[in-house]
Each structure stands twice: as structure tokens, then as C-alpha cells.
Amino acid sequence: MEKENGGTRTPPVADTETYRDHIATVDEQGKRIWIYPKKPDGTYYNIRTYVSWVLLALLFGMPFIKINGDPLFLFNILERRFILFGVVFTPQDMHLFALAMITLVVFIVLFTVVFGRLFCGWVCPQTIFMEMVFRKIEYAIEGDANQQRKLNLSPWTQDKIIKKVAKHAIFYLIAIVIANTFLAYIIGIDNLIQIISEPVSQHMGGFIALLIFSAVFYFVFARFREQVCIVVCPYGRLQSVMLVKESIVVVYDWIRGEPRGKIRKKKQPESEQLPELGDCIDCKLCVQVCPTGIDIRNGTQLECVNCTACIDACDNVMEKINRPKGLIRYDSISGIEKGDKKIFNTRVWAYSTVLLALIGLQVYLFSIRNDIEAVVLRTPGMLYQEVDDEFISNLYNYQLINKTSKDIQNIRFELRTEGGRIKTVGSIPAATKQAISEGAFFIEMERDILRGRKNKIVIDVYSGEEKIDDVSTNFLGPPK
């Protein structure tokens, strides 16, 4: 029966909330319960299918997209080279990455506070591949949930062997494709094609990486499955502390649905009075379609990825029994209890303010970021040299970090500080694209303008007549 608490009815739960003591995929002995979710069908599932097609097309297609000869995205951790939307980032841009990560964390927190685990059900690669690729193949080969269960319990016949071999062979082939795609984001599509097309002996490291990636992806989608979301994913663990009553989640309307009970087919005697039932007919289809094996009627739980399978299942049942849809829907706890659709609260406004400030700072730092970065340092261990009675000389090493996709020609250095001059050691080479060019030069300063041991000087770096950077460094002089 429903409980009353200060005039507001609370969600129905079992007398002992044992489902909160363990995850739905583990039994009392600690053994895993294999999930056989019934094939979902409905409006949300169809929309998610279309969305997944678009996202999969982007995932597999983006490695082939290039801007000025560079990939659209590259995350080469080994060589510390990153490309985002065709813009090259180097270790010198690490502060931008650090700020971007902080901004991303704040955005995730804000998004979760407002929309719950919407990302998990609609965008997460794990959910898309599992539910929209591997699960569909499993349904096509082995049938729906009951047929899969019967097949696994049946003896090994020729039919079972053919189905199992076919399924796992396709699974592994897809895992290989996924592994190649993810490797393309790390080393680039050109290097990946080179590894695939040339003899294995020439790219043993790349070949081993492909095997490892493929094996991991196959294991995840063939065996580990929903455990990634329940056990491994840190976001799934953290979302429970980030959600508030106003967060939009997949939720069961217990006020409308309780007390649940089967549909009465026969009229009861007038003398027999039965309690009025809610709209939930306790068909348990919402449980049968859940890919993590939970009962959404128990409330928001750690395992729920907001995949909407239970919404479609319940809506289909409500339509058949001529009752309003939406018994399970996207809503908030506050929306169920009070009909309050407000999602902006103090916490949301606070997170939004912090996020906007971080985005503003990120945009500013990007706007002042140079495509060519110069580093000029005095040569370690070298003292000043007296050129003559008028000038003091220091030797400097320089580096030119070219973050662009083209060589920069006609590099020259000019001393902005008055009373000095630069003498290069040999010619200054072009700044090679996406590389570091090095060299050395002398700076000679008039003895009379030096104020002591350390003197700040400024050097401008030009490409032709265009100033591309400026550098501050110290000039070592004799003590005064």
C-alpha cells in the first residue's frame, strides 16, 4: 500500500529493500546472473536507433576527415601530439588541456544535475555498441530473450554450434573494426593503413596493439557487457551523489501506478470489496526489457542507464489496456510528487555560473595562443663574455615550436630592449611544421645600460615582416 508522509505519498518499496544491498546481476552466492533482456520496441527505441546510426557514422567516418592534411581529431598520447578540429596542440599547451578537463568535469556535473544519466542511454559508446550493434546481432542469430535462454540451456547440437560460432565470429570481426577505429584516433588513419597493408614484421608493435584492443573490445561486448556500466564506469558511481530531486531521470509514477495488481477479468460479488488498484498491472515487462536487470519501480538505482527500454515497454502495455501512457517516463522525483517541472535551482545556477566563467577563460586563452611558440634561454653553465670595453655578450639557445601544418620561413629575431644587438650562429632555419626547430645566437648589450647581474630583456620573433611571438629572458652582466 502507499504510504503518506506529510501529505506527500512516497514511492512503494519492499518491506526490506534488499535490492539496494546488491546489484541486480549478482545472486546471493555472489555469482553473476546473466541478463537476457527482451527485445525492446517503441518510439524511444526507434529514435535511439536513428541517433545511434548518426553517432556510429561520425565515429567511423571522422578518422578519414582531414583539415590542411591533418586529421580532424588525433589523440597521440605516445608522441604527446593532439589535434582537435584540425588545430594542433603540443605539450606547451598543457595548461589549455588542464583547463579543458576542469571545464568538462563541471559540464558533466551540471548536465547530470539537470538531465541525470541521459548521456549514458543516448550517447555513451558502450551503450550504443552494446544495445544497437551487438545486441541486435544476438537477436538476429539467437532470437529473443526466451529463445536465447533455451539455447544456452540446451545440449550442444549442430544448430547451437553454428549459431554460437556465427555470433562470436561476427562479434570478433566487429571488435577488430572498433579496435582499428580507436587506434586511428591515436596514431592517425594514414599510419593505421600502413600498419595494415605492410608486412607484420615491420609493425610488430602496432599489430600487437590491434590484437590487444580487439581482444578487450570482444571481451567487453561478448562477456562483460552491462558490468562496465555497473562496476567499472566511474560516472555511474558518481551520478548517485550528483542527482537531486529536480533531476530529469527515467522514473516510475508510483502515485498513479500504486497499488499495482493484475487486471480483473471477472466482476467480483458486491459483498466483496477490493482495494482500488493503480494503473500498473504488474506485468513486469519493464523488468524483462531492462539491459541491467533492475526493476525501475523501485526508484532510481545505480544500475539504471536511462536507456528508455522500460518506457517503451510500459507505453505499449498502457496502449493495449486503454490507459494513458507515461506511467514510466522522463521526469523528476519532484515532478512526480508535486507536478513541479522546475529544473533550475540554486545548484544549477551556481554550476552554470562556474561553467560560463571557465568557458570564457578557455576562449580567452585560445584567442591569445600562438601558432608559433618561441623559447629562448641562456646556455646553461655559460658566464657572460666581455666583447670589448663597450659590450657584454651572452650565449642563448632557442627553440621554435611550430604548431601549424606548414613550414614557417624567413625567421628572424629582433631585440626590443634598447642598447643591444643579436648575432646569430649560422643561418636561422625554417620552423618545420609540427616540429621543434633549434639553434643558438649571441646577444650583446652595452655595458652602461646594465643594472646588475640579472637584466630583463625582450626579444621579438618575426616571420618576414609579421611578428609571431615575443619572449622575455634574463641577460647576465657584471656586478655593479
Condensed to tens digits (0 to 9), the pLDDT of residues 8-50 reads 445 555 444 566 667 788 888 888 899 999 999 999 999 999 9
Contact 394, 378 (CB under 8 A): yes
Whole-angstrom Cα Rg for the chain: 32
Q: Is 90 exceeded by the pLDDT of residue 341?
A: no
CATH of the domain at 413: 2.60.40.10
Averaged over 450-458, what is the pLDDT? 90
Indicate whether 437 and 361 sit together in one domain: no
pLDDT at 15: 47
Rounded to whole angstroms, the Cα distance separating 411 from 371 reads 14
Side chain identity at residue 9, one-letter code: R
Sign of torsion over alpha carbons 10, 12, 14, 20: negative
Indicate whether 293 and 265 sit together in one domain: yes
Indicate whether 315 and 383 sit together in one domain: no
Query: And the C-alpha cell for 96?
Result: 589549455
DSSP state letters, 36-76:
-PPPP-SHHHHHHHHHHHHHHHHHHHGGG-EETTEESEEEE
For 449, the domain range is 372-476
Query: Torsion-angle region of residue 400: left (phi > 0), alpha (psi -120 to 50) or beta?
Result: beta
pLDDT in tens, 51-82: 999 999 999 999 999 988 889 999 998 888 88
Domain count along the chain: 2
Last residue of some domain: 369, 384, 412? 369
pLDDT at 80: 83
Least confident of 17-21, 240-244, 386-390: 17-21
pLDDT at 86: 84
Contact residues for 232 (Cβ-Cβ < 8 A; gap 6+): none
pLDDT at 44: 97
Closest CA to 135 of 52, 250, 231: 52
Q: Is 90 exceeded by the pLDDT of residue 393?
A: yes
pLDDT at 172: 97
pLDDT bracket for residue 163 (50, 70, 90): very high
pLDDT in tens, 308-326: 999 999 999 999 999 999 9
Indicate whether 234 and 123 sit together in one domain: yes
Contact 292, 303 (CB under 8 A): yes
Q: Is 50 exceeded by the pLDDT of residue 2?
A: no
Contact 406, 442 (CB under 8 A): no
Q: Phi and psi (nearest 5°) for 294? A: -95, 165
Indicate whether 384 and 331 sit together in one domain: no
Indicate whether 261 and 380 sit together in one domain: no
Indicate whether 63 and 198 sit together in one domain: yes
Indicate whether 166 and 71 sit together in one domain: yes
Indicate whether 364 and 389 sit together in one domain: no
168 to each of 144, 162, 182, how far by Cα in Å? Answer: 17, 10, 21
pLDDT at 5: 38
Contact residues for 260 (Cβ-Cβ < 8 A; gap 6+): 12, 277, 278, 280, 281, 282, 297
pLDDT over 90, % of the chain: 57
Rounded to whole angstroms, the Cα distance separating 372 from 368 reads 12
Q: Is 60 exceeded by the pLDDT of residue 292?
A: yes
Q: Is 50 exceeded by the pLDDT of residue 1?
A: no
Q: Measure the CA dihedral 195/75/122/47, to 10°.
A: -60
Indicate whether 354 and 412 sit together in one domain: no
Q: Angle between the 135-142 and 158-187 helix axes, to the nearest 10 degrees? A: 160
Rounded to whole angstroms, the Cα distance separating 230 from 257 reads 27
Indicate whether 209 and 184 sit together in one domain: yes
Last residue of some domain: 325, 340, 369? 369
Q: What b/e sequence results for 77-88 when a residue is b if at least 16 CB atoms lie within 10 Å of its CB, and e otherwise?
A: eeeebbbeebbb
410 to each of 106, 317, 328, how far by Cα in Å? Answer: 44, 74, 67
- Grid cell 600502413 is found at 194
Least confident of 12-21, 227-236, 291-300: 12-21
Indicate whether 247 and 268 sit together in one domain: yes
Last residue of some domain: 343, 369, 395? 369
Query: And the C-alpha cell for 198?
Result: 605492410
pLDDT bracket for residue 262 (50, 70, 90): confident
